[in-house]
Amino acid sequence: MAYARYEMRSQLVANIDKALYIFDSDEIRFNLDPDGIIPSNDPYVYRFSVANFNENNVSDVDLTYHVKVRTTTNLPITIQMFRNQLPSDAGAVNLLGGSQDVQDEDGAWYHVYDINADYQMLYTQQVTDYYTMVIHFPAIYGADMTYVNSIENIEVSLESKQMV
């Protein structure tokens, strides 16, 4: 025989705030085509920035990030990268050393420039790092018809991760 009995039920839940992960930068990818770049003794300068905050929030975690540049091998360009410095600053340090040539699964070759450093952004402060990328395509190549129809693809990847 089963008897009725008292029964009470409830659900327990927790008031938890999930940490926001703000790394405000998208992958940068663009093409240098004959309309956009011509051999010149004046360098081409591109700027971008990364931050651990946006207009609404600041990252709740410490994070590190890593910068890598990959270019196709169609144009004889050289690249320099400066972090929080201008190329004209005294003692400005070019972060890009030599490149490594790698081949992808389709057989295409690329120059890969890897900045051998992980940069930190701590949640305790709003941080913005400004980058200046300088591309040299010297004027001496202007007379070389080899590059007239060539397109160079530049890809800057920024990989971030939470510090542990």
Nearer to other proteins by Cβ, of 61 and 127: the residue is: 61
- Min CB(26)–other proteins separation in Å: 13
User: 3-state class of 142 per DSSP?
Assistant: helix
CB count within 10 Å of CB 96 equals: 19
Residue number with CB closer to other proteins (9 or 35):
9
Taking the complex as a whole, the smallest distance from the CB of residue 13 to other proteins amounts, in Å, to 4
> Binding residues for other proteins, per CB under 8 A?
3, 5-23, 54, 56-57, 60-62, 123, 162-164
Rg of the chain taking only CA atoms, in angstroms? 24
Least distance from other proteins to the Cβ atom of residue 1, Å: 12
Closest CA to 47 of 135, 161, 136: 135
Q: In this complex, which beta carbon is closest to other proteins, that of residue 19 or of residue 140? A: 19
Q: How far is the CB of 101 from other proteins (least distance, A)?
A: 29
CB contact set of 90 (below 8 Å; sequence gap of 6+): none
> Which residue number, 21 or 141, has a Cβ lying nearer to other proteins?
21
Angle at 72 between CA 66 and CA 78, to 5 degrees: 75
